[in-house]
Structure 1
Amino acid sequence: MAEPIQPIALPPAENPAQEGEWLKAALHQWLDREFLPEPINEEIAQRASQIFVRQRMEGQNDLGSLVIAIVTEMEGFDFSRSFYGEFAIANAVSDLLLDSLGIDRCCGQ
């Protein structure tokens, strides 16, 4: 039987606004690099960053819970001018955070 994946906790937020600015810039860069640079990418990165910052200010450190919050709250975002959706954005945020923590995300490790 496979072992369950252990939860990943981010360090407690010392400066959520600074984390949010980093995430907004990193996500915007990722969006532009992955497909096409388009104006909506900035709006997507801004919204995801706002959700992330609010969650961190409320004390949320669990990566899985942060991803679920982003998926849930991005459902209301109008993605009609984008090639992305809420799941792609939440997964990208997760990958960016894991990379920033030096956690290898390849092959389920």
Structure 2
Amino acid sequence: MTAQPIPPITLPPIRNPQQEKEWLQVALQKWLNQEFIPEQVNETIAQRAAQIFVRQRLEGENDLGSLVIAIVTEMQAFDFTESFFSEFAVANAVSELILDSLGFDHCCGQG
């Protein structure tokens, strides 16, 4: 059996940027708080990641892989010293939350 590459996941065009940003920020902060312990910095991390995500979407980026890379790249400037997380953990969490919201099985990339 040959391994097949996972096809790219393209999100539908953004319709309500503010709603998408608020949903992602709340969902990500909840995820961060549940992974370890609730920390004040989690709110800032979630806010920043949601801001990057929505700005990229408004600029026309709908490929989930490219959105994750953009979050990793831009979050590298964030000071994670007060957090248990890194830019990679945050970007992966965003990807999982988006996949969950779309009904994808993120283990295999299938709907």
TM-score under structure 1 length normalisation: 0.96
1:8-59 deviations in whole A, cap 9, x for unaligned? Answer: 0111100112101100000000000010100000000000011011001001
RMSD: 1.0
Following TM superposition, where does structure 1 have runs of at least 4 consecutive aligned residues deviating by more than 4 angstroms?
none
Q: Tell me, which stretches of 5 or more residues in structure 2 are unaligned?
A: none
1:71-95 deviations in whole A, cap 9, x for unaligned? Answer: 0000000000000000000000000
Q: Tell me, which stretches of 5 or more residues in structure 1 are unaligned?
A: none
For residue 18 of structure 1, what is the aligned residue in structure 2?
19
Measured in 1, the distance between the counterparts of 2:60 and 2:109 equals 27
1:35-50 mapped onto 2 (5 Å cutoff): 35-50=36-51
Alpha carbons 2:6, 2:108 under 8 Å: kept: no
TM-score under structure 2 length normalisation: 0.94
Deviation at 1:4, TM superposition (A): 1.3
Query: Aligned pair 1:67/2:73, yes or no?
Result: no
Measured in 2, the distance between the counterparts of 1:85 and 1:59 equals 26
DSSP-derived class of the 1:106 partner? coil
**Which amino acid counterpart does residue 37 of structure 2 have in structure 1?**
L
For residue 82 of structure 2, what is the aligned residue in structure 1?
81
For residue 8 of structure 1, what is the aligned residue in structure 2?
9
Give the aligned length: 109
Deviation at 1:105, TM superposition (A): 1.1
